[in-house]
Amino acid sequence: MYDMDIRRHALALLADGRSLNSASRETGISRSAIRAWQIRPEPLPRVSPTPCSGPGDPAAYAYLLGLYLGDGCISPHPKGGQYLRIACADAWPGLIEQCRAAILAVRPSGKVYVLQRQGCVAVTSYGRHWTCLFPQHGPGKKHERRIALEGWQQEIVDAHPWAFVRGLIHSDGCRTTNWTVRNGKRYEYPRYFFTNRSTDITSLLTRTLDLLGVEWRRANQANVSIARKESVALMDAHIGPKY
């Protein structure tokens, strides 16, 4: 939920003559939310999280959590509730379907639809408790704020670590073929990469990889590389390339 300072800032942009599109681009807040604040700037009463039930399928949730941390966002509906959106590239139709299936497994009573955008789709679902299920939601970019799992989330990740890693790799990772030249001969070898500007999210991945016995190294501040033959074989057995 956006606090009053954020709401006042967005409304001040409109008062200065900015359009809804312009205010939305600057703040990262949807036009529908800003439009609703023109009618009622104060937040609706916060709903107690007590009625929020856990995910229907913990393994599917671990996978969806990985996708959310990489390419997901939650935005408020003007009349209450929230939209969960996961951005998926058109190049990976299998990933789009896996994302859709995971959302339905986590919230079996919900509905999922796909919104086509330039070069990608937003796999979208409306619900009353998405911020309960993903307490990492908040204003601003993920890499500019602290990201940490709640205790109950960590328990799910520890119980389904490969599903969590799969979600992270499917969102911000890839399997590639690298090559090198030794003694004049070209050698090719598979490698996994993960790229994310959030050190917290990257640490969640590397901690889980450590628990799974997967060796990794930092290629640079934003990139994690998995290249050891045994570790790549483990990743291939549980993750594999996107499709």
Q: What pLDDT digit, counting tens, does each position of 35-82 carry? A: 777 766 776 544 333 346 778 899 999 999 999 999 999 999 887 889
Spatial distance between the Cα atoms of 121 and 124, rounded to a whole number of angstroms: 9
Greater pLDDT, 217 or 219? 217
Amino acid 35: pLDDT = 72
Average pLDDT of the chain is 89
Q: Judge whether residue 186 has pLDDT over 70.
A: yes
Amino acid 167: pLDDT = 97
28: closest CA among 112, 135, 142, 119? 142
* Residue 173 pLDDT grade (very low, low, confident, very high; cuts 50, 70, 90): very high
Amino acid 28: pLDDT = 82
| Residue type at 180 in one-letter notation | T
Q: Which of 16-20, 96-100, 235-239 has the lowest average pLDDT?
A: 16-20
Q: Tokens 């999210």 map to which residue?
A: 201
Q: Tokens 């290249």 map to which residue?
A: 227
Amino acid 40: pLDDT = 67
Query: Could you please report the per-residue DSSP string of 149-204?
Result: --HHHHHHHHHSHHHHHHHHHHHHEEEEEEEEEETTEEEEEEEEEEE-S-HHHHHH
| Residue type at 203 in one-letter notation | S
Tokens of 109: 């009573």
